Amino acid sequence: MPVSNSSATWEGSLTEGKGTMVVGNGRYTGPFTRASRFADGEDTNPEELIGAAHAGCYSMFLSALLSNDGHVPNRIHTTAKVHIGQVDGAPTIHTIELNCEADVPGIDDAALQEYAQRAKAGCPVSKALASVSNIQLTATLQS
């Protein structure tokens, strides 16, 4: 199975510093700051990237479930709102709102709701965000 790579660099203090995130081999590079994460700053933030990953994975997984049963969708559009706030005194992602619009010929709303719930439970990013029991870390101090 493939391994996906991304990276981030942060320079300076939390309040005055700035960072850059790189997705893949430079397919996307974006700046981020404390303001873009916890206020109304103009740059991106890790939560937006998590939301994009979740929306993309969910849409693909829902399409796979539907297609496997002969209901090939014309279009699936999903948005993800990722909420970060203080929980027990620590910044925490506490809510993710997925909003999916699906154009699927030949099924009714009840069927779509069943497929949608199965996709929410089964998409790999949903699973990762629900509970990550194995986080591996390598830390290297450079001077």
Domain ranges of the chain: 1-44, 45-129
Closest CA to 37 of 51, 23, 57, 26: 51
> Residue 122 corresponds to which tokens in the numbers above?
């089964």
Confidence (pTM)? 0.87
What is the dotted CATH code of the domain comprising 45-129? 3.30.300.20
- For residue 58, the model assigns a pLDDT of 92
How many Cα atoms are found within 13 Å in the side-chain-facing hemisphere of 80? 22
Q: Which residue has the higher pLDDT, 102 or 26?
A: 102
Cβ contacts of 4 within 8 Å, gap of 6 or more: 24
SS (HEC) of the chain:
CCCCCEEEEEECCCCCCEEEEEECCCCEEEEECHHHHHCCCCCECHHHHHHHHHHHHHHHHHHHHHHHCCCCCCEEEEEEEEEEEEECCEEEEEEEEEEEEEECCCCCHHHHHHHHHHHHHHCHHHHHHHCCCCCCCCCCCCC
| Residue 133 pLDDT class (50, 70, 90 cuts) | very low
Mean pLDDT of the chain: 87
pLDDT digits (tens, 9 = 90+) for 13-63: 998 999 999 998 888 899 999 888 888 888 889 999 999 999 999 999 999
Q: Tell me the C-alpha distance between 8 and 143, whole Å.
A: 18
